[in-house]
Structure formats: structure tokens, C-alpha cells
């Protein structure tokens, strides 16, 4: 009898300790998302280039392509690409990289490239299922055949905040902008196009 009471008391004590731990975890203060946003630096997610906005976004597109990103959007002022990773046997990750090219100054000869990379993490979820066959009027019969349905479930999504990560991308864009062999940008500044048109008309006038 004494041994049984001791065991019951030990079980009650363990249950109380678990309940206390759970209540303490629930009562712990949660860190609000807005407190993690400081808005104190623009260097991590932006870089200014001495180029047109279309040229900057084209260089960004080539930079992403050179690293294995699949381009889903390629416009004159923004580019978006996605790349898949396999960090583990039962885990999967994807990075979506977005670049927005905004003109800087009235002349438009300078461009600010704003970048953002979001990492999504997935985990493999396995679920077993048994086969059943309906046999009227006896209802359904469960057969001893089981199958496994595997699916990827998103477990996290976060913005990459690593400054070196973006710095490597900015340097690669700069390399493409400074003139890799064979690179061609068909767009020219409006003033240059107007000057060339005026010179052509003047040359065609009879003297």
C-alpha cells in the first residue's frame, strides 16, 4: 500500500510540474514583430548604380540567372527569381529574390536597386493510409494494404537579413554593368536618341 501511494504521489508531482512549465511558457512575454524592425539602415537592401533603371534590372536578371535562379518576372523596373535548395533528406528550402530598380535624380542616369530575398522552409510530412472497399450490403471492408502519402509542408518563411549575402549580389550586378564581354543594352538615354534623330534630319536636308 505504501509503495502504491508513493507512486501515485510521484505521478501527481510530475503532472503538476509539467502543468507549471506549460503555464510559465504561456505566460512568457512574446516579442512583437514590429519591435524587430528598426528602419535604421538602407545599405543592406539597396545600392546605387550609375546606370539607367532598365540597364540595372537587366544586369540584376543576368546576375540571378548566373547563380541558377529561375526568372519568373523580368521587367524594365523589377525582376523576380526563385531558387530551390535541399538542406536535408526530409527538408526543402526556396529563396525568392526580388529586385526593384528606381530612378535616382531628375536626369535618370542613376538608379537605386532595392533587393529583398525571402526564404521559405518546407518539411516532409508522411501519413499512412489503409485501403477500404465498399461491399454492399455489408458496408466497407478494410484491406490489409497500406500506403504512404508524402507531402511538403511549409514550416517557416523569413526575410534574409545577412548583409554579406546581398553584398555579393551587388558586386555581381556591378560586374555585369561595367561591361562583361558581349553584353549589350539596347536602351539609350532619351537625350541621346533625340540628338541622334536631329543630326540625322539635319544631314538629310538639301543645301
Q: Which of 79, 86, 85, 71 is nearest to 100 (CA)?
A: 79
For residue 35, what is the DSSP state?
G
The model's pLDDT over 65-115, given as tens digits with 9 standing for 90+, comes to: 999 999 999 999 999 999 999 988 888 999 999 999 999 987 778 999 999
Q: What pTM does this model have?
A: 0.63
DSSP bridge pairs for 142: 132
Does the pLDDT at position 180 exceed 60? no
* pLDDT, greater one: 69 or 38: 69
Residues 6+ apart with CB under 8 A from 187: 52, 54, 55, 76
Q: CATH top-level class for 40-130+143-178? A: alpha beta
DSSP bridge pairs for 80: 73, 98
Q: Distance from CA of residue 28 to its chain's centroid?
A: 31
Q: What is the mean pLDDT of the chain?
A: 77
CA angle 147, 151, 153 (to 5 degrees): 145
All three cell numbers of 192:
541621346
Q: How far apart are CA 149 and CA 162, in angstroms?
A: 36
Q: Where are the domains of the chain?
A: 40-130+143-178
Residues 6+ apart with CB under 8 A from 13: none
Q: How far apart are CA 158 and CA 84, in angstroms?
A: 15
Q: How far apart are CA 141 and CA 153, in angstroms?
A: 31
Amino acid at each position: 500500500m505504501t509503495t502504491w501511494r508513493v507512486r501515485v504521489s510521484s505521478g501527481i508531482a510530475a503532472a503538476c510540474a509539467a502543468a507549471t512549465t506549460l503555464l510559465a511558457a504561456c505566460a512568457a512575454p512574446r516579442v512583437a514583430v514590429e519591435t524587430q524592425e528598426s528602419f535604421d539602415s538602407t545599405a543592406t537592401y539597396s545600392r546605387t548604380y550609375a546606370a539607367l533603371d532598365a540597364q540595372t534590372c537587366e544586369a540584376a536578371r543576368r546576375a540571378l540567372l548566373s547563380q541558377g535562379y529561375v526568372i519568373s518576372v523580368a521587367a524594365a523596373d523589377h525582376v523576380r527569381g526563385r531558387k530551390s535548395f535541399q538542406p536535408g533528406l526530409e527538408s526543402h528550402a526556396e529563396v525568392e529574390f526580388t529586385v526593384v530598380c528606381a530612378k535616382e535624380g531628375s536626369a535618370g542616369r542613376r538608379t537605386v536597386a532595392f533587393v529583398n530575398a525571402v526564404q521559405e522552409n518546407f518539411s516532409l510530412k508522411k501519413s499512412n493510409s489503409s485501403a477500404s472497399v465498399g461491399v454492399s450490403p455489408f458496408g466497407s471492408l478494410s484491406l490489409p494494404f497500406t500506403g504512404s502519402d508524402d507531402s511538403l509542408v511549409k514550416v517557416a518563411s523569413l526575410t534574409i537579413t545577412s548583409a554579406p549575402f546581398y553584398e555579393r549580389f551587388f558586386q555581381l550586378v556591378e560586374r555585369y554593368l561595367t561591361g562583361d564581354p558581349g553584353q549589350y543594352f539596347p536602351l539609350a538615354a532619351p537625350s541621346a536618341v533625340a540628338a541622334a534623330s536631329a543630326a540625322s534630319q539635319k544631314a538629310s536636308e538639301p543645301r
